[in-house]
């Protein structure tokens, strides 16, 4: 089998790709608490450190900033050194981040340690996502959705134990205990994760009609010259903003509307039940929308999902004082938000190739860091100044609607142009490659 004139390596004699994906799932679940359990610690931190919510949320922004903005560099290392080493080191940093946060006695110390955790989480997230994109060109949306979904769903099984541990033993003990556990799990999972050989493809695989894939591998430098890259980056920033607002401050929003302590089901308050259900939905939606995008195309899936999220936020705001509706509609918000972490890595690999996809998606992933600047401290500050979450919610709705329209009317034509240009480059290079091969075979200098 030949791809773009290059002989394909035989099936690798290593751990099969499905076991590797399972290892990535385990690693991603182990780092989920750093982002999705953060909201459980904000109130204890404001009390212990005698700080405002906006000041404490700077730590979350620092985490997301380091988790995202360093991924291109981490991806560069992974594409060249392999994922095992980088993900293993990331596991150690993940553990250190929470252990240090538990020992922090000042805001500055909290910022530093949570940023270190972000560096580790970014290495794990970027490494696992990039590796799955390389191993599964035949099920790209679905499989990257499963792995990124593990990051979204991981906290669903730990939020109640962490909440209980905070109440019984204090937030410091919870940080340290779970930091040690998470670091160990990630480091062990990393031992099973390796990259596929160069030019490896699944046997007898061909791309489906609705999802065209670039046969030319672009470097990051070539990618950022493409107009489609900027459409992708802006769209992901817009949609990430709303999801991060809810992720970082769901418990505070519940408290503001006085539904946080109202028991909804089986002794669970609205806020805790919402966090648990949201994490489950956030995990399930990623492979689901990834699979949908494999069938109907990335841009069409984006358009539908982003409109659903905008509508969900509007409906949530209308019924936010009712505990049951608070839980159900906040989950619908996550149902239409989590998919960005399957759709955007998939379209990055589709448009710019898979050889350097860890680096390339790492650059796209920094859009989440850009969004975090506004979603945590800025959103909290706006709420403090206006004494209302309504302005923040309407900005979230506007971002979703704009991104949905961009998917169809900006990104879709730009994506076609990117693929057409790449195809032209390959066709123009083919005769030259054939001539060079012929001369080499006949001994012509």
pLDDT digits over 39-60, tens only? 889 889 999 999 988 899 889 8
Nearest to 15 by CA among 180, 170, 185, 194: 194
Inter-CA distances, 335 with 149, 294, 368, 403, 419, Å: 11, 18, 18, 16, 30
Place of tokens 């991603």: 28
pLDDT digits over 273-290, tens only? 887 788 788 778 888 998
Nearest to 124 by CA among 175, 80, 70: 70
Every domain of the chain and the residues it spans = 15-193+215-423
pLDDT digits over 139-195, tens only? 888 888 899 888 877 777 888 899 999 999 999 999 999 999 999 999 999 999 988
Tokens, residue 377: 């401290």
Model pLDDT, residue 89: 95
What average pLDDT does range 246-267 have in this prediction? 79
pLDDT digits over 293-319, tens only? 988 899 999 999 999 999 999 999 999
Query: Measured in whole angstroms, how far is the alpha carbon of residue 22 from the centre of its chain?
Result: 17
Which of the four pLDDT bands, split at 50, 70 and 90, describes residue 438? low
What average pLDDT does range 349-353 have in this prediction? 91
Inter-CA distances, 428 with 76, 217, 373, Å: 29, 15, 44
pLDDT digits over 8-24, tens only? 444 445 568 888 899 99
Among the CATH numbers 1.20.1090.10, 3.40.50.300, 3.40.50.150, 1.20.1250.20, which is that of 15-193+215-423?
Answer: 1.20.1250.20
Q: Which helix (H) or strand (E) holds 145?
A: helix 140-153
Distance (Å, whole) CA 430 – CA 440: 15
Does the pLDDT value for residue 238 go beyond 80?
yes
Q: Rounded to 5 degrees, what are φ and ψ at 269?
A: -75, 165
Tell me the pTM. 0.76
Tokens, residue 262: 């109202």
Does the pLDDT value for residue 4 go beyond 50?
no
* Cβ(149)–Cβ(284) below 8 Å: yes
């Amino acid at each position: 089998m030949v791809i773009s004139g290059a002989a394909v390596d035989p099936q690798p004699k290593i751990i099969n790709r499905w076991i590797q994906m399972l290892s990535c799932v385990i690693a991603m679940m182990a780092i989920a608490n750093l982002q999705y359990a953060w909201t459980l610690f904000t109130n204890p931190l404001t009390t212990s450190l005698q700080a405002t919510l906006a000041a404490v949320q700077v730590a979350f922004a620092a985490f997301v900033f380091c988790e995202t903005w360093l991924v291109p560099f981490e991806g560069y290392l992974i594409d060249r050194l392999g994922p095992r080493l980088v993900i293993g080191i990331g596991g150690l940093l993940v553990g250190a981040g929470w252990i240090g946060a538990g020992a922090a006695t000042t805001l500055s110390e909290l910022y530093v340690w949570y940023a270190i955790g972000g560096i580790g989480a970014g290495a794990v997230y970027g490494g696992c996502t990039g590796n799955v994109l390389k191993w599964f060109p035949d099920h790209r949306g679905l499989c990257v959705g499963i792995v990124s979904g593990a990051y979204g769903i991981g906290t669903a099984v730990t939020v109640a134990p962490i909440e209980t541990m905070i109440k019984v033993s204090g937030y410091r003990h919870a940080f340290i205990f779970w930091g040690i556990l998470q670091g160990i799990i990630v480091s062990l999972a990393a031992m099973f994760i390796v990259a596929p050989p160069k030019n490896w493809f699944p046997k007898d695989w061909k791309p489906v009609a609705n999802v065209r894939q670039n046969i030319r591998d672009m470097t990051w430098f070539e990618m950022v010259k493409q107009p489609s890259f900027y459409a992708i980056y802006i769209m992901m920033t817009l949609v990430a903003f709303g999801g991060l607002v809810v992720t970082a401050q769901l418990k505070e929003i519940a408290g503001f509307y006085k539904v946080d302590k109202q028991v909804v089901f089986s002794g669970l308050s609205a806020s805790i039940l919402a966090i648990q259900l949201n994490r489950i939905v956030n995990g399930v939606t990623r492979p689901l929308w990834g699979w949908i995008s494999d069938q109907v195309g990335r841009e069409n899936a984006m358009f539908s999902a982003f409109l659903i999220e905008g509508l969900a936020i509007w409906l949530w705001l209308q019924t936010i004082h009712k505990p049951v509706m608070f839980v159900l509609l906040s989950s619908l918000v996550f149902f239409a938000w989590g998919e960005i972490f399957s759709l955007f890595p998939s379209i990055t690999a589709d448009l710019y190739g898979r050889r350097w996809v860890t680096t390339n998606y790492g650059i796209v992933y920094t859009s989440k860091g850009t969004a975090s600047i506004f979603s945590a401290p800025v959103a909290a500050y706006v709420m403090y100044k206006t004494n209302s979450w309504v302005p923040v919610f309407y900005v979230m709705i506007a971002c979703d609607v704009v991104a949905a329209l961009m998917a169809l009317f900006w990104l879709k034509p730009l994506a076609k142009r990117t693929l057409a240009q790449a195809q032209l480059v390959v066709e123009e290079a083919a005769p030259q490659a054939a001539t060079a091969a012929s001369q080499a075979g006949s001994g012509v200098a």
